[in-house]
Amino acid sequence: MGNLYTVATPIGNLEDITFRAINILKEVNLIACEDTRHTLKLLNHYDISKPLISYHQHSKVSKIDHLIEELKAGKDIAIVTDAGTPGISDPGQVLISKAVEKGIRVIPIPGPSAVIAALSAAGVPTDAFIFLGFLPLKKGRKRIIESFKDEKRTIVLYESPHRIEKLLGELKDVLEDRKIVVARELTKMFEEIIRGTVSEVQERLKIIKGEFVVIVSAK
Ligand code: SAM
């Protein structure tokens, strides 16, 4: 049986990749990725030429099965996602879970992840935090946000640009002047980290573009 390597790739800046990640990408038989065009940019930057297979959360089950068959046949596969660490709030989880279920060895190649990058610069206590990824759009959303009122650990969320203003509004309704941190476009040209009460952040967040991590400080 081959190995499945979960290879962390940059969340923006192409230099944020480890030597080991590059070596693994060069050594495996194939690379399973979200979007081939996106991954090709990274591979071209590091002069890596490798067969790419796009898996996707919504791809036919047969694609995941095909990759499992390749692993069983002895091929080593690296899984990468469009950004960061595979399996952290992204479609990579489906293949990883299936590989574990089938007894395939899964080897992590650690590196960037937006949750950790944001926490490391946030300036809030990080000894205990909960990561909730993307909040559900409807079911349970209100109840989860209400629960932040009494949460004694730092809370980390992912949010898309389409919904960031809505999320900040919802946080304000519940948390009033609680301190939050909004980290936008980390490691990229327009990186911005805004710290303050929810209303201060709402006021200072002028550009609603790019990718966001939202951190809510504990009660
Ligand atoms: N697996 C990735 C990781 O390890 O961070 C996360 C994938 S998830 C589909 C994408 C979300 O991560 C974005 O919507 C955003 O919330 C966050 N994200 C990714 N890159 C980011 C960046 N450069 N700056 C801020 N947030 C980022």
Determine contact, residues 171/180, Cβ cutoff 8 Å: yes
User: Quick one: pLDDT band at residue 56, thresholds 50, 70, 90?
Assistant: confident
Tell me the pTM: 0.96
Mutation probe of ligand 1 site: the residue of 7, 9, 11, 208 with most atoms within 8 A of C-beta: 11
Confidence of residue 57 (pLDDT cuts 50, 70, 90): low
Same structural domain for residues 21 and 86? yes
What is the Å distance from ligand 1's center to 115 Cα? 7
Q: Is the CB of 158 under 6 A from ligand 1?
A: yes
Last residue of a domain, one of 109, 138, 158: 109
C-alpha to C-alpha distance for 151 and 216, rounded to whole angstroms: 10
> pLDDT over 90 for what percent of the chain?
95
Q: What is the residue-averaged pLDDT of the chain?
A: 96
Q: In testing the pocket of ligand 1, which one of 155, 158, 208 has its CB within 8 Å of the most ligand atoms?
A: 158
133 shares a domain with 96: no
Domain end point (choices 74, 109, 144): 109
Task: Residue 94: name the closest of 48, 122, 61, 118 by CA.
Answer: 61
80 CA to middle of ligand 1, Å?
A: 13
Share of the chain above pLDDT 70, in %: 98
Asked whether residue 60 carries a pLDDT value surpassing 80, the answer given is no
Q: Which residues contact 7 (CB under 8 A, 6 or more apart)?
A: 21, 24, 25, 78, 79, 80, 86, 109, 111
Residue 87 Cβ inside 6 Å of ligand 1? The answer reads no
- Which CATH number belongs to the domain containing residue 86 in this structure? 3.40.1010.10
Co-location of 102 and 136 in the same domain: no
Same domain, yes or no, for 102 and 161?
no
Q: Which atom of ligand 1 is nearest to the CA of 88?
A: 1
Which of the listed residues 55, 84, 109 is the one where a domain comes to its end?
109
Same domain for 88 and 128, yes or no, is no
15 in the same domain as 105: yes
Residue 104, domain extent: 4-109
- 59 touches 45 (CB < 8 A): no
Q: Is the CB of 188 under 6 A from ligand 1?
A: yes
Same domain? For 12 and 100 the reply is yes
**pLDDT at 58 > cutoff 70:** no
> Is 187 close to ligand 1, i.e. is its CB under 6 Å away?
yes
Shared domain check, 101 and 191? no
Q: What's CA 166's distance to the chain center, in Å?
A: 21
Judgement on whether residues 171 and 102 belong to the same structural domain of the protein: no
Tally of structural domains, the chain: 2
DSSP state of 84: B
Name the percent of the chain in helix, strand, coil, to the closest 5.
35, 25, 40
Residues 95 and 137 in one domain: no
Quick one: pLDDT band at residue 62, thresholds 50, 70, 90? confident
Q: Is the dihedral of CA 77, 83, 88, 93 positive or negative?
A: negative
Q: What's 209's domain CATH number?
A: 3.30.950.10
